[in-house]
């Protein structure tokens, strides 16, 4: 598998940003003086946004290890349909979960299409490495806490919203924020326990 791009958290740049060759904006040519201070907004969080079908989701950027192009995994017998199999990632055997199948975000023919935009988000969940297949990666976005609304309350028998931490309204589009750690370590997935028993 080829690396598509490393997460901006590692580089300190947001997606699409270019390293500056001059002084930082608003600081002048000399940068910060000895007695100057800056205010850091601690009420914002960074999310990696991606698409499942026509919907856009976001996960905490700190859970993302890297983003890789899709490579056909080795199938595992009797695995659920959303467990695509495993891949060898630099000597580590990584289970691959297709979030499109898990959340029923399929195309009109009921399939999870693989194309040039399909990527695997490699996650570090509770010390374990897991890959998540998504339709495409959009951006890294900073969101203020006040921009995030709580998930709507719905009957668990109809829709399980326990993995949705909130919904943000950005430029007339809704971004569904997902607790990827809770999802991947849930008993329903069975990934973390299975890995921990080895």
Domains in the chain: boundaries: 44-196
CB atoms within 10 A of CB 58: 27
In total, the chain counts a number of residues equal to 198
Angle at 62 between CA 59 and CA 68, to 5 degrees: 75
CA distance 159 to 149: 18
- What span, in angstroms and rounded, lies between the C-alpha atoms of 165 and 167? 7
149 neighbors 167 (Cβ within 8 angstroms): yes
The pLDDT, as a whole number, for residue 177 is: 95
pLDDT of residue 136: 95
pLDDT computed for residue 12 by the predictor: 43
Three-class DSSP category at 61: helix
- The per-residue DSSP string of 147-165 comes to GEEPPPP--TTT---TTEE
What distance in Å separates the CA atoms of residue 175 and residue 165, rounded to the nearest whole number?
A: 11
pLDDT tens, N- to C-terminus, the chain (198 residues): 544 444 444 444 444 443 444 443 444 444 444 444 445 556 899 999 999 988 999 999 999 999 999 999 999 999 999 999 999 999 999 999 999 998 888 887 878 889 999 999 999 988 899 999 999 999 999 999 888 998 877 766 566 677 889 999 888 889 999 999 888 887 777 665 544 444
pLDDT at 158: 60
Domain covering 44-196, topology? OB fold (Dihydrolipoamide Acetyltransferase, E2P) (2.40.50)
**Tokens at residue 180, please?**
């990827």
What gap in Å lies between CA 107 and CA 105, rounded to an integer? 7
The beta strand positions in the chain, using DSSP E, are: 3-5, 44-52, 55-60, 64-69, 83-89, 92-98, 119-125, 128-134, 136-144, 148-149, 164-170, 173-178
What's the CA gap between 15 and 13, in Å, rounded?
6
- Contact status, residue 91 vs residue 145, Cβ threshold 8 Å: no
Single pTM value for the model: 0.72
């Amino acid at each position: 598998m080829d690396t598509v791009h490393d997460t901006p958290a590692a580089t300190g740049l947001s997606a699409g940003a270019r390293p500056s060759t001059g002084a930082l904006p608003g600081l002048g040519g000399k940068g910060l003086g000895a007695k100057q201070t800056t205010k850091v907004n601690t009420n914002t969080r960074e999310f990696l946004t991606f698409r499942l079908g026509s919907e856009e989701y976001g996960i905490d950027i700190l859970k993302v290890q890297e983003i890789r192009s899709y490579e056909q995994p080795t199938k595992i017998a009797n695995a659920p349909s959303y467990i695509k199999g495993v891949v060898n990632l630099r000597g580590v055997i990584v289970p691959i979960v297709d979030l499109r199948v898990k959340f029923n975000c399929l195309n009109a023919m009921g399939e999870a299409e693989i194309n040039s935009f399909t990527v695997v988000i490699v996650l570090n969940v509770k010390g374990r490495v897991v890959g998540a297949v998504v339709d495409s990666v959009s951006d890294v976005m900073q969101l203020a806490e006040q921009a995030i609304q709580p998930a709507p309350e719905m009957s668990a028998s109809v829709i399980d919203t326990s993995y949705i931490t909130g919904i943000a309204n950005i430029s007339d589009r809704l971004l569904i924020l997902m607790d990827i750690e809770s999802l991947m370590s849930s008993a329903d997935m069975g990934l973390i326990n299975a890995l921990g028993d080895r």
